[in-house]
Amino acid sequence: MSAPRGLPDKAAIKKFITEATGSVGRREIARAFGIKGAARVELRAILKELADEGVIGRGRGKRYDRAGALPPVAVLRIARVDDDAVLYAMPMRGGDAKNDVGDDAAPPPRIIVRTETRGAADLGVGDRILARLQAKGTDYEASVIRVLPKGPERVIGVYTEIPGQGARIRPTDRRQKSDYFVEPGQNGGASKGDLVVADILIGRRRGLTEAKVVEVLGDMADRRAISLIAIHSNDIPDVFPAEALAEAEAARPVVMSPDAVREDLRHLPLITVDGADARDFDDAIWAAPDDDSGNKGGWQIIVAIADVAHYVTFGGALDLEARRRGNSVYFPDRVVPMLPEALSNNLCSLRPDEDRPVLAVTMRLDANGQRLEHKFHRAMIRSAARVVYEDLQAAHDGAPNAQTGPLLDGVIEPLYGAWAALMRARKGRQPLDLDLPEMKVTLGEDGHIADIRPRARLDAHQVIEEFMIEANVAAAETLEMQKMPCVYRVHDQPDREKLLGLREFLGSLGLSYSLGERPRPELFNRILAKAKGTDHWEAVNQSILRSQSQARYDPDNIGHFGLSRPRYAHFTSPIRRYADLLVHRALIRGGGFGADGLNDRETENLTATAEHISITERRAMTAERDANDRYMAAFMAEQTGAEFSAQINGVHRAGLFLTLTDTGADGLLPMRYLHDDYYQVDEAQNALIGERYGSRYRLGDSIAVRLVETNTLTGGLIFELAVASAETSEGARGGPRLGKPRKEGVRRGKSGKHSKRRGRRRA
């Protein structure tokens, strides 16, 4: 790829990066070469090519440096000590010995540790250090900043006692296949069935690694312990420091005064709309027909968001803890909030009939939902009502209740009118329109699972979503116009390799996808429309989802592919997302709304903060998914032996990954239960294909299965084929399925000859 007109060539960019002191970001490169506007997108493509070719290296936080370069400060592991007592170190990823640079990575440079620095004399192979690095030609010299403590590893599991064999801890992590032995006096007061946290010790007893209980979390029989497993397994902070709690308790309500800089919007009937179980209400909305005669059919809307920045200021204990958490985490039985309840459920929550400070955006739309203008302002509101989604929808559908009846004509119907206009604009943009149902776990008062069913998807949900999306876009546009730093919510276009796999899979279904066209959400929507109503509908949805890049936070804007928006930022949930709080602070600074806006120190660390909160978001998603898997396993435990309709959501050499049609529970049908043939994975078709009969199980196929095993501790569900499935599945039509089962312990290799199998396949 040659440089586009007006851009420096690759050689010039490489020279600039190589000669720079430390790593550089796209913004610095663009500034150095005077690159502006749309040309920044072309610069990004050139940098990606240079990095992919190994000409330059990728640093932390979307920064670049010379190929193979290491950061100025890094975590190292002592790899060897030579005969002259010279210490050689290896760089580590994430500071964890389990994540050493592997064989598939580029060879790491040689790092020699200076033995005269503090603590170096006592180092040995395997020790970890935080070190300052200095390049010496192609090598590096490391000065020890501090020696990192070894610290015992920990395990979370259920404490049990086996007569004649002693006490054990059974891990909750399904990847840990072995129990841990607990010596008498090392159980920390745990009783049989307790969920515990334990330090892993060095010794072994009865063939098992020893462990010492350090914390008892609760009785595993109480299903509410399930969320505790997810919290502790994913290292989610769930106890606020005393300083942060003291700051929250000391906060006082904002009082509207005649000389206040806030606009008084308390006369407008804004309402909050949330789920029935919500406790923090951080957004309120209002709409009315535009009174401008030149905008016939147009609308005025207001989105008002809790002014969290007023209470959580940079550098304070609340701010430090909020940044550390990154976001709130939601479980069926509890929330691990980003902010203490004194703020999240009280002063920052837009409760009805109480004055609350907000950062609001007023927008004018034309009849087709195109935004004509918008304005941000700090204000005071007084919510007229707290409405739940179901009641809002029922009122619009003609069945208002005592609360929504008085609001119907003047408040609720204008919301739906403005939403209809926004939906017309959405149709023109064609954002990615995937249909992925979400399951809701409902617990009874006793902590046991009362129900699991798909979450209702109402127009009321879309009303709120579209209002919030429009406000988020307005925030990003405003900050860009003001040239203010911004943590954008970015979503890159799909990776070409993933699209190659998607094309092959769609081709096996008779659906075409051309790689010659630039990826656009509209193209995926056309494929989804063709698959609608077919047996492959869910499989196509899942495949397109898996082909997409992961959204993240970044101070460098590349747009949001899925939403078809050139700029997008999270503004509407500062109670539960640190990213939104940063956007609020930037808007406050850019709009001159007070001294509590984004400061220079925050701006300098914006890249690192964006990377951190992207990680905490993924951590929260993993924890929520883990908890739901365990709740689902507990819900299914009494149904062992029952038959279910399922869809194949993944194909792997371990077997078939399944999703049950009714509950959405995920599980595995291990390869060992497919007795009728020997199956190979066909990655192009996303299918298991039998060698003997050519029968197949493909992504998206519906099959009947029987539940044979549940593991509440790990959240695992194991299935086998039901007889009906073997007789009626699509695979059966490819050839006879009920032939002579293959003998366990023998497999057919690629040459056609039989070879011995060692043991049984593991799920």
Per-residue confidence at 542, pLDDT binned at 50, 70, 90? confident
The amino acid occupying position 296 is K
**Burial of 100 per CB tally in 10 Å (0-12, 13-18, 19+):** middle
In whole angstroms, how large is the CA radius of gyration of the chain?
29
Better-predicted residue by pLDDT, 26 or 555: 555
* pLDDT higher than 90, residue 518: no
Spatial distance between the Cα atoms of 176 and 178, rounded to a whole number of angstroms:
6
Distance CA 514, CA 656 (A): 29
pLDDT of residue 144 exceeding 60, the answer is: yes
In this prediction, residue 602 carries a pLDDT of 93
Confidence class for position 194, pLDDT limits 50, 70, 90:
very high
Residue 231 confidence (pLDDT) above 80: yes
| Beta pairing class for 180-182 and 696-698 | unpaired
Does residue 432 have a pLDDT over 50? yes
The CATH code of domain 10-66 reads 1.10.10.10
Per-residue confidence (pLDDT) for residue 534, from 0 to 100: 85
Say yes or no: do domains 73-147 and 640-756 share a fold.
yes
**CA distances (Å), 287 to each of 261, 267, 364, 420, 617, in order?**
24, 13, 10, 12, 32
Q: Specify the higher pLDDT residue, 627 or 585.
A: 585
CA distances from 243 to 341, 563, 719, 755 (A): 14, 40, 50, 65
| Mean pLDDT for the chain overall | 85
Helix (H) or strand (E) holding 365: strand 355-365
Is the per-residue pLDDT at 380 higher than 80?
yes
| Predicted pLDDT at 158 | 93
Does domain 640-756 match CATH 2.40.50.140?
Answer: yes
Which pLDDT belongs to residue 59? 65
Identify the pLDDT of residue 711. Answer: 86
Whether 116 has a pLDDT exceeding 60, the answer reads yes
Q: Does pLDDT of 154 surpass 70?
A: yes
Which stretch of DSSP H or E encloses residue 504? helix 496-508
Beta bridge partners of 169: 159, 180
Q: Is the pLDDT of residue 752 over 70?
A: no
Of all residues in the chain, what percent carry a pLDDT higher than 90? 49
Type of residue at 236 = I
Q: How far apart are CA 444 and CA 238, in angstroms?
A: 23
pLDDT of residue 741: 35
- Residue 494 confidence class, pLDDT cut points 50, 70, 90: very high
**Residue 343 main-chain phi, psi, to 5 deg:** -100, -55
Find how far residue 60's CA is from the centre of its chain.
19
What residue type is assigned to position 243 of the chain? E
DSSP 144-181: EEEEPP----EEEEEEEEETTTEEEEEES-TT--S-EE
pLDDT at 680 over 50: yes
Distance between alpha carbon 59 and the CA centroid of its chain, in Å? 22
β-strand partners of 213? 198
Nearest alpha-carbon partner for 527 in 551, 510, 550? 510
Which CATH architecture does the domain made up of 73-147 adopt? Beta Barrel (2.40)
Count CB-CB contacts under 10 A for residue 688.
26
pLDDT tens per residue, range 715-749:
889 999 987 444 434 444 333 333 333 333 333 33
- Across the range 568-589, mean pLDDT stands at 98
> What pLDDT shows up at residue 272?
98
Mean per-residue pLDDT, 4-18: 75
Domain boundaries 154-221, corresponding CATH code = 2.40.50.700
Nearest to 92 by CA among 41, 129, 136: 129
| CA distances from residue 20 to 111, 275, 327, 488 in whole angstroms, order as listed | 21, 52, 35, 27
Range name among 240-254, 475-489, 720-734 with the lowest pLDDT average: 720-734
**Residue with the larger pLDDT of the pair 136 and 704:** 704
As a whole number, mean pLDDT of residues 639-648 equals 92
Mapped onto helix, strand or coil, the DSSP state of residue 422 is helix
Q: Which tokens hold the place of 24? A: 């550089």
Residues 6+ apart with CB under 8 A from 75: 91, 92, 94, 95, 128, 129, 130, 131, 148
> At 97, is the pLDDT very low, low, confident or very high (cuts 50, 70, 90)?
very low
Domain-wise residue ranges, the chain: 10-66, 73-147, 154-221, 242-485+568-620, 640-756
Q: pTM, whole model, 2 decimals?
A: 0.75
**C-alpha span between 24 and 8 (Å, rounded):** 16
Q: What integer is the mean pLDDT of 34-60?
A: 76
Tell me the pLDDT band of 315, cut-offs 50, 70 and 90: very high
